[in-house]
């Protein structure tokens, strides 16, 4: 199936979801709009757009604009879509105009962060995620693990992407009791990092590269450094939390939901990485620390 014609007008699909198909569409869009043309993104048919995907749309627009492409956004008539994009600030971004969000909404704003400015992201996550009224009933242990998971992903971008910016957007899904946060950077892919790490990994495709990277203890860092724990810790937590982790990078798609994995090779490359984490906010686990440990004994 092809979403694109030779026309510069690109119709967004009826449903744009955070899944294999959604990421495929967005990867194609990234590639198609990189040719320094003028593109009209047409929202006419869109009935459902998961707002956290604005992180990917923003990354596509920003990076291709920097290459000389130009974007116009048409037929943003649907009130639901218009409202969603207004509430997370994406409408301001694409229309370059001020649109005030509703007083009570469930969007986590679209933002672009300089990868060197870690404090800004820290404040953003604190303000819009941890202090959000949607997560009041979770234990301190669960909140700690959510916060840690987000920063482990962010630090992976800082250390491995070679990019300057990360695009972030999220959404609380009240009825499902879940929160999705998507982080995107256009830079080195998982495949690039893994295949260039050791000669024996040279033949790995996108899926195999992601599978290698999410395994405990595997890291592409230099020999005098340690790593390879962050993504595994996130996976362990998300299994207990009944959450979901999705990664789209190069030609690989990888997801783990409630501990069940699904992987697939994709026909198009995404020249960077999209990581989406979905947390279950109805998690009642306390996540106690089992015992006091004498620090000296672990050194």
- Which residues of this protein are in contact with other proteins, per CB under 8 A? 118-119, 122, 141, 144, 147-148, 151-152, 155-156, 158-159, 217, 223-230, 233, 289-290, 292-293, 295-296, 298-299
Closest CA to 55 of 2, 18, 10, 81: 18
Q: Nearest distance from residue 28's CB to other proteins, in Å? A: 33
Q: Nearest distance from residue 59's CB to other proteins, in Å? A: 22
Closer residue to other proteins, CB minimum distance, 121 or 207: 121
The structure tokens listed for 74 are 């048409």
Q: Nearest distance from residue 147's CB to other proteins, in Å? A: 6
Q: Nearest distance from residue 159's CB to other proteins, in Å? A: 6
Closer residue to other proteins, CB minimum distance, 199 or 290: 290
Closer residue to other proteins, CB minimum distance, 66 or 131: 131
Burial class (CB in 10 A: 0-12, 13-18, 19+), 38: exposed
Please state the length of the chain. 299
Closer residue to other proteins, CB minimum distance, 200 or 292: 292
Closer residue to other proteins, CB minimum distance, 2 or 223: 223
Q: Are 30 and 64 in contact (CB under 8 A)?
A: yes
Q: Nearest distance from residue 188's CB to other proteins, in Å? A: 16
Q: Nearest distance from residue 126's CB to other proteins, in Å? A: 9
How far is it, in rounded angstroms, from Cα 245 to Cα 180?
10
Q: What angle do CA 117, 274, 95 make, to 5 degrees?
A: 70
Closer residue to other proteins, CB minimum distance, 67 or 236: 236
């Amino acid at each position: 199936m092809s979403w694109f014609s030779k026309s510069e007008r690109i119709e967004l699909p009826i449903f744009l979801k955070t899944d294999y198909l959604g990421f495929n569409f967005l990867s194609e869009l990234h590639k198609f709009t990189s040719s320094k043309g003028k593109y009209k993104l047409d929202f006419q048919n869109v009935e459902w757009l998961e707002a956290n995907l604005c992180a990917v749309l923003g990354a596509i627009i920003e990076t291709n604009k920097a290459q000389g492409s130009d974007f116009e956004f048409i037929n943003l008539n649907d009130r639901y879509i218009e409202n969603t994009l207004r509430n997370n600030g994406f409408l301001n971004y694409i229309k370059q105009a001020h649109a005030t969000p509703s007083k009570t909404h469930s969007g986590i704003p679209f933002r672009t962060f300089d990868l060197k400015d870690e404090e800004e992201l820290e404040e953003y996550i604190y303000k819009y995620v941890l202090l959000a009224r949607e997560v009041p009933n979770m234990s301190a242990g669960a909140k700690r693990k959510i916060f840690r998971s987000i920063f482990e992903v962010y630090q992976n971008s800082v250390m491995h992407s070679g990019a300057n910016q990360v695009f972030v957007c999220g959404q609380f899904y009240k009825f499902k009791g879940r929160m999705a946060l998507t982080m995107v950077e256009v830079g080195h892919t998982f495949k690039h990092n893994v295949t260039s790490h050791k000669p024996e990994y040279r033949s790995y495709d996108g899926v195999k590269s992601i599978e290698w990277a999410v395994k405990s203890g595997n890291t592409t860092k230099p020999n005098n450094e340690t790593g390879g724990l962050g993504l595994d810790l996130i996976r362990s937590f998300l299994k207990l939390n009944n959450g979901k982790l999705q990664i789209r990078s190069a030609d690989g798609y990888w997801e783990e939901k409630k501990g069940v994995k699904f992987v697939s090779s994709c026909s198009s490359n995404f020249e960077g990485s999209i990581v989406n984490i979905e947390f279950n906010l109805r998690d009642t686990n306390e996540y106690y620390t089992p015992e006091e440990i004498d620090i000296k004994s672990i050194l």
